[in-house]
Structure 1
Amino acid sequence: MSGPVKAYNWSDVPAREVRPGVTQRGFRGDQCLVTYNTLAPGMEPKPHSHPFDQVFMLISGRVTLHVGEQVIECGPGTVVQIPRDVVHWADAPSPEDGIAVNIDVFAPMREDYGYMVAYQER
């Protein structure tokens, strides 16, 4: 990417519904992609893996994160490195805890998420 540096606010970034209870917004750098995610009580967990390193950061709420065979109870401020190709997922937050917000950083840049950051090309 080239040109002037632009600042954005997550609330102004287009959101996509990944599945019921999960929304995601994306922002890219030259070598990484960052997503801002909301996880609602009742969302369906989705075990998956991908060929990208991922850093999971919980900003608010509580979730149980599964990374391979590990189970990690996450509260605000939890940061977890998820290695590439390792199956992982988050359980839905409890109704008592409400919506959880997390930020994920993927490196290298996820080309499969390129459509989410097309607004940055304008």
Structure 2
Amino acid sequence: MSRKPVHLTRSDWASDDRLWKGVLQGRDIGTGVTVIFYATEKTGVGPRWHVHPYDEIFIVRTGRALFTIGDTKLEASAGEILLGPADIPHKYENLGPGLLETTDIHVSDRWIQTDLDDPELTAS
């Protein structure tokens, strides 16, 4: 089986003209990895408490963040890499000051996420 190279431009994945923000679904290019580029300049802001049925690798490109992965809290800064194991809830937030940029690698051909702090999901 022969596969061809894929070349994407920024407009193929980016959701912001200035910041590294956007999603590249692996299934769209024929691979088993999805990449999310996250960026925020707001201190205290980040992805909410959620879980995936696959591993996620976080690469902190710029700034500082507080990660909560299960019961563990970790501070990470530019150049550090963390693993969020499958089925373990996690979140992170910008510790500031300034820009936080991460590249989040989802070991899946598509982004599958269950938000856990949504009142409609947690109410029973």
TM-score normalised over the length of structure 1: 0.70
> Partners of 2:22 and 2:95 in 1: how far apart?
16
1:23-47 per-residue CA deviation (whole Å, 9 max, x = no partner) reads 4332525111111111331425511
Is the 8 Å Cα contact of residues 51 and 85 (structure 1) preserved in structure 2? yes
- What is the total number of aligned residue pairs between the two structures? 105
Asked which structure has the greater CA Rg, the reply is: 2
Query: Is the CA contact 2:15–2:22 (under 8 Å) kept in the aligned structure 1?
Result: yes
Conserved in 1, the CA contact under 8 Å of 2:52 and 2:112?
no
Change (3 A) 1:70 1:107: same
Task: Indicate the percent of aligned positions where both proteins have the same amino acid.
Answer: 20
Q: Which consecutive unaligned segments of at least 5 residues does structure 1 have? A: 18-22, 114-122
Aligned to 1:60: 62
Aligned to 1:118: none
Moved >6 Å (runs of 4+) = none
Instruction: Specify every segment of 5 or more residues in structure 2 that has no aligned partner in the other structure, as ranges.
Output: 114-124
- Is residue 2:26 matched to residue 1:24? no
2:59, 2:102 within 8 Å by CA — same for their partners in 1? yes
Secondary structure of 1:91 counterpart: strand
CA contact (8 A) 1:32 1:108 kept: yes
Q: CA deviation at 1:107?
A: 1.2
